Amino acid sequence: MTSLLPPQARNPLHGLTLETIVTRLADFYGWDDLGQRIPIRCFTHDPSVGSSLKFLRKTPWAREKVESLYLFMLRDQKRRGF
């Protein structure tokens, strides 16, 4: 049986920029909580979307953590009915 959905249809990250992900996380958690959840300097010391993007684009392991937290946030929001 062939799927009628495009390959990325079920990927919640598809089509999102890293800037959108970081902005949504910062809006939802706030920089302080985000820095506690992912303790990296760009979130804990003078945080901004720009400085975070600069670091995350060069650091694959940190980007994976951010993407994982974003997926967790989406699941949590769905569970809570947001």
CATH code, domain carrying 72? 1.10.720.30
Domain count along the chain:
1
pLDDT along the chain (82 residues), means of 10: 61 90 96 97 96 96 97 92 79
Give the pLDDT score at 13. Answer: 85
- Structural domain range at position 73: 18-80
Give the pLDDT score at 12. Answer: 85
pTM score:
0.84
User: How far separated are the first and last CA of the chain, in Å rounded?
Assistant: 34
Give the pLDDT score at 11. Answer: 83
CA–CA distance, 38 with 33 (Å, rounded to integer): 9
Please report the sign of the dihedral spanned by the C-alpha atoms of residue 58, residue 61, residue 36, residue 32. Answer: positive
